Amino acid sequence: MSNDEQEFTVAVDEVNAIIGGYHGDPFRILGPHPIAGGIAVRAFLPQAQQVVLVAGEERRPLTKIHEHGFFEVQLPGWALPVDYRFEIEGFNGEKQLIEDPYRFSAQLSEDDRYLHAEGKLLKMYDSIGAHLHEADGRSGVLFTVWAPSALRVSVIGDFNQWDGRRHPMRFHPGSALWELFVPGLHEGTLYKFEIKTRYKDYTVAKADPVGFAGQMRPNNASMVWDVNKYEWHDQTWLQGRPQIQSINQPISVYEVHLGSWRKKEVDGEWHWLTYTELAQELIPYVQEMGYTHIELLPVSEFPFDGSWGYQVTGYFAPTSRYGSPDEFMAFVDTCHQAGIGVILDWVPAHFPMDEHGLGFFDGTHLYEHEDPRKGSHPDWGTYIFNYGRNEVRQFLISNALFWLDKYHIDGLRVDAVASMLYLDFSRKHGEWIPNQYGGRENIDAINFIREFNNQVHEQYPGVLTIAEESTSWPGVTHDTADNGLGFNLKWNMGWMHDTLQYFSNEPVYRSFHQGTLTFSLLYAFSEKFMLPFSHDEVVHLKRSMLDKMPGDVWQKFANLRLLYSYQWSHPGKKLLFMGGEFGQWQEWSEARSLDWHLLDGDAKHAGLKRLVHDLNNLYRYEKPLHELDDSWEGFEWI
């Protein structure tokens, strides 16, 4: 302190805690406070050598009471509330007028805080995260984050030189939410939350769990974005969606990885197409081919290209690889205007261990289960969500609703459902914990899945939920009221495996394996199935769809044509991964484009593509091929 402590209204240890970045209640110290006979205004402004409080015509200089930039002014006769700004003079002599975030009252409503504490704030994205906001006539951004065990949380960004001491947040004990309104910030502002934990003085900068946009990897800051300003033009589609996506309608899905469907060459280098370019090229192609839907491998922000999007760090942000959130909205809008539904792969089963992500968020296992036997995945090296925690279930369900609400998504294909359902999934004896009844079923995950499906179907009738579930778990597509999981459709992994196994045999040997082909009809109507030949079947040395087929080149094409004809005539909705429709020879890789040159002058590849086009159109317009897909009444052996 540069002056005797008693001359001022704040204790030395409080000042040191603010300057040192370990004060957990900054609003108790900073901003305006009543004192005997008036008020005192305090500020921590390490970038300033002089500070003047400006209130209308009044100008009152603040006294620097600590050399590192802690200022105070006492104002006898003044009373709260008070409207003021600071005129600061930097060490370079430049002056600027700034707002004081600590003069504003709490902005987060009591209702939101209460519902969050109960785990019932199911559209948390409307209040949590970073939102353009106005308070007392000042425009800025309201930041909010959940971090119950943090010692201190701050907003950091370019606006404060990423200094975590500058903008510490207000803590709400009942909800464990931290908030701060920062006037003067705008859309496009980069930010993170700096969290000082109680764990061995560990301090970490985290991306916003509810951030609406983010930086391109390898950078990983969140970006302020207004997701409410886009003007949609798809009302006709949305109104008709419940009928379009009913179980008796044709659903033929083209599965796409946006970064490798096609690439463009710029200055000798290959680049991704943007969301805008994909709308111009991909959508007409899907229309031409007769598909009803596009299914996108995960678009939520992710740091590692090789994860294909299945290791998410930004659950509420479409990846910046291909453009802005508004441009992705325009892509979906264009799909709808073209009569094409959009399904997203959604990943609530696990998340990566990247330091800026959800893991060990506030110095504790906040989003993941603390016991590694339930909280970490042995195969993927990722964390598993703690489905028994109210706030975690709320986060995931809110995220699902977010994509349906703000991006008008038509369906969610839930990844790796089996890994959620079973506590012993991919674990040896002694590596898992039984449930309270001694079984291997993950009851918390089951309850979460049912609640997710109930909320989606209640709030967005006609939206599809699709399970990638690889076991024989009963009732995946049965109503939750009947003890089912509540999905609309389930990927028929058994059919896919058996069918590919059968077709990989030379035709001369197939008569010995007819049971493999017919077995699927024993259970085809036990669930509402989708028949997938997905990206998982054309990677990791499994070979491309064409190269799986036996025989010489002519025979491979003939067998693949037969396989697709069988798929389109078998009961169940259809899904084919990109490249399969024209016969890729190579396995798929996220690092390169599909081999479109194969269609140049090669009648075999062009003919296969034409067959898929014809199958789609036959399937769409011939009711016997798509009605009663889930009932014996719609099938008869010839």
| Active site residues per annotation | 415, 468
Task: Output the CA torsion 73→79→84→89 (10° steps).
Answer: -10
Angle ∠(124,488,476) on CA atoms, nearest 5: 95
Q: What is d(CA 469, CA 421) in angstroms, rounded to the nearest whole number?
A: 9
Token pair belonging to 193: 């939350």
Give kind and range of the element (H or E) at residue 97: strand 95-98
Q: What is d(CA 167, CA 54) in angstroms, rounded to the nearest whole number?
A: 21
Q: What is d(CA 589, CA 609) in angstroms, rounded to the nearest whole number?
A: 20
Give kind and range of the element (H or E) at residue 566: helix 553-569
CB 322 within 8 A of CB 329: no
Note if the bond before 218 is cis, omega within 30 degrees: yes
Task: Output the CA torsion 275→277→281→287 (10° steps).
Answer: 40
Token pair belonging to 495: 């059919």
Task: Output the CA torsion 539→540→542→544 (10° steps).
Answer: 30
Q: Phi, psi (5° rounding) for residue 320?
A: -80, 0
Q: Which residue has the tokens 């008709």?
A: 240
Going by C-alpha positions, the residue among 303, 311, 331, 317 that lies closest to residue 130 is 317
Ramachandran region, residue 205 (left: φ > 0; alpha: ψ -120 to 50; beta: rest): beta
Going by C-alpha positions, the residue among 474, 471, 475 that lies closest to residue 486 is 475
Token pair belonging to 616: 């789609």
Q: Tell me, what DSSP letter sits at residue 169?
A: P
Q: What is d(CA 364, CA 489) in angstroms, rounded to the nearest whole number?
A: 37
Q: What is d(CA 528, CA 612) in angstroms, rounded to the nearest whole number?
A: 23
Give me the amino acid identity at 206: K
Size of the chain, expressed as the number of residues it contains: 638
- Cβ of 90: how many Cβ atoms within 10 Å? 13
